[in-house]
Amino acid sequence: MLILIYFSMRINSIISNKCFDINDHKMKVTLKEIKYAIAVSKHLNFRRASEECNVSISSLSSAIKNLEHKINFEIFERNNKKVIVTSLGREFLFEAKEIILKVKELENLADASSDSLSSNISLGIIPTIGPYLLPIVLPTLKNKYPNTNLKITEAQSHSLIQKIENGEIDMGIIALPYSLDRIVTQVFWAEDFYWISHIENLQHKQSVKSDDLKKEDLMLLEDGHCLKDQVADLCNVNISSTLNMSASSLSTLVELVAGKMGSTLVPELSLEQLVTKNGVLQKAHLDEPSPHRELAFAYRESFKGQKDIQLLKELFYGELSDHFGRGQPL
């Protein structure tokens, strides 16, 4: 009820402050209509917006028309080729996005009195963490908090941070070090990198130094992955001197190593899935100052779901400690 009252007051304030005429004095603009409009503005395409909102194109189009009728101006110009946001539409959408953020904050406040996770959490995660962390933590999370609806989005760090800033997701899991602005982080785990090579490579070592790697055919992830930059900085490797071969995933890199195309570096978290069960690969710890990277929750400074962050942080830490047989200070 509090959320609906706030929403109604905020909409009416926007309308009056912007001098927008209202066709219906009762003006029942809904959150659903607002979310549909934001989705269309994001994609500038009704089909893709309808897919994101999980509704038919006709339903979404009808809702947008109803919204425009209520506020008495067009948010979008439409033709057969493209969708354009009008000048008044840009003003309205700016305020609408602020409303969605505030509604989420109110929902988080409503959940704060509970000892459980919020009923709905949207979590982003980067590709060099998600496939290896989630199988470890999700079974316990689902068992402990069965009433929480967790929506997971996978994206590279720069895209994930943008989604957090825009309020598209509540929080993200990223790898540090990473340059951030206006984003708060809480570290829950730290790990090192391992050099992966084919067993026919004569260097059967327990550990390697960065200087050793300069003599190897090193393959890294493609541009845009923070792991590539973290490895290059840690090892003082000139990226242009690495093999002219890259991949969009760690699993592909490891398969290239198995095919004798070169060697690579992967985080400890991925070893069990990618390396341990592969009989033609060997690993060596990268002997450089630890930790090589930290796993952290990232969220907006204004985010009100601190309780959710803390509960997830404790759960993830506990499951990782049990899995790897070691703990770290939280």
Residue type, 261: M
**Coil, strand, or helix at residue 302?**
coil
pLDDT at 28: 76
pLDDT at 1: 42
pLDDT at 300: 93
pLDDT at 82: 84
**Coil, strand, or helix at residue 6?**
helix
Same-fold call for 120-187+293-324 versus 193-286: yes
Nearest to 266, CA basis, from 239, 243, 284: 284
Residue type, 81: K
For the residues of 220-279, what is the DSSP string, one character each? Answer: EEPTT-HHHHHHHHHHT--GGGS-S-EESSHHHHHHHHHTTS-BEEEEGGGHIIIIIT-T
pLDDT at 233: 85
* Full-model pTM: 0.69
CATH of domain 120-187+293-324: 3.40.190.10
Among the four given CATH numbers 3.40.190.10, 2.60.40.10, 3.40.800.10, 3.40.50.300, the one describing domain 193-286 = 3.40.190.10
pLDDT at 243: 58
Per-residue pLDDT of the chain (330 residues; tens, 9 = 90+): 444 444 555 555 555 554 444 444 455 788 889 999 999 998 999 999 999 899 999 999 999 999 999 889 999 998 777 899 999 999 999 888 888 888 777 766 665 555 788 889 999 999 999 999 999 999 999 999 998 999 999 999 999 999 999 889 999 999 999 988 889 999 999 999 999 999 988 667 888 998 888 778 888 888 778 888 888 888 877 665 555 677 889 999 999 999 999 999 999 999 999 998 888 999 999 999 989 999 999 999 888 888 899 999 999 999 999 999 876 655
For the residues of 169-219, what is the DSSP string, one character each? Answer: SSEEEEEES---SSEEEEEEEEE-EEEEEETTSS---SEE-HHHHTTS-B-
Q: C-alpha angle 241/256/287, rounded to 5°?
A: 60
Q: C-alpha angle 258/324/229, rounded to 5°?
A: 55
**Coil, strand, or helix at residue 40?**
helix
Report, in angstroms and rounded to the nearest whole number, the Rg of the chain calculated over CA atoms.
24
Nearest to 171, CA basis, from 125, 120, 115, 116: 125
**Coil, strand, or helix at residue 280?**
coil
pLDDT at 306: 87
Euclidean distance between CA atoms 36 and 55, whole angstroms: 10
* Domain spans, the chain: 2-111, 120-187+293-324, 193-286
Domain 2-111 in this protein, CATH class: mainly alpha
Residue 185 has a CB neighbour count (10 Å cut-off) of 17
